[in-house]
Amino acid sequence: MATAQKSPARKSTPTKSTAQKSPAGKKSGAANKAADMPSDVDSSVGWFDKFATSASKFVSRAWFFAFCVLLVIVWAPSIALIHSISTWQLIINTLTTIITFLLVALLQNTQERSDRALQAKLNAIAESMSYLMAAQGLNHEAQELRDAVGLEDRESSDGK
């Protein structure tokens, strides 16, 4: 839960955990579920996250793509050694399926962490801007911006 003592600039302003009503009569998003702010994020990164980050860096390089192309180039003429089209196709299909399956899991982890970090930064900017707007007398607009903090957790993907 955020407190007013986190930074000197916020001492006289309400915190984001204060339940406020929006013009629609709903509690603001900060009251429903506290949005992640950069100061709320745990800085420790687990072994899987470190591994996923390393794998993401590894596979995003041009030489990894060149290795994949080389793999296909080596596989293509191997039909002369295997003599069975079914076995020949099974080898490349199995290899690419396994690699794709594992990489999707690793890259999804990296992408999710990146999205959460970016959202925390946007939430911090929006919250700061809302206090500036309120100081300028734009209270309705400031409340709208406060309601937008954490919207990604409340909004449905089907637009409802």
Give which of 37, 10, 15, 30 is closest to 148, Cα–Cα: 30
Q: State the DSSP string of 77-95.
A: GGHHHH--HHHHHHHHHHH
HSE-up of 2 (CA within 13 Å, CB side)?
25
Name the one residue in this structure whose structure tokens are 């809302």.
130
Whether the full predicted model's pTM is greater than 0.95, yes or no, is no
pLDDT in tens, 140-151: 888 888 887 777
Query: What is the spatial distance between Cα 129 and Cα 142, in angstroms, rounded to a whole number?
Result: 8
Alpha-helical (H) ranges within 60-138 are 62-75, 79-82, 85-135
pLDDT in tens, 105-157: 888 988 988 888 888 888 888 888 888 888 888 888 888 888 877 777 666 66
Query: What is the spatial distance between Cα 109 and Cα 102, in angstroms, rounded to a whole number?
Result: 11
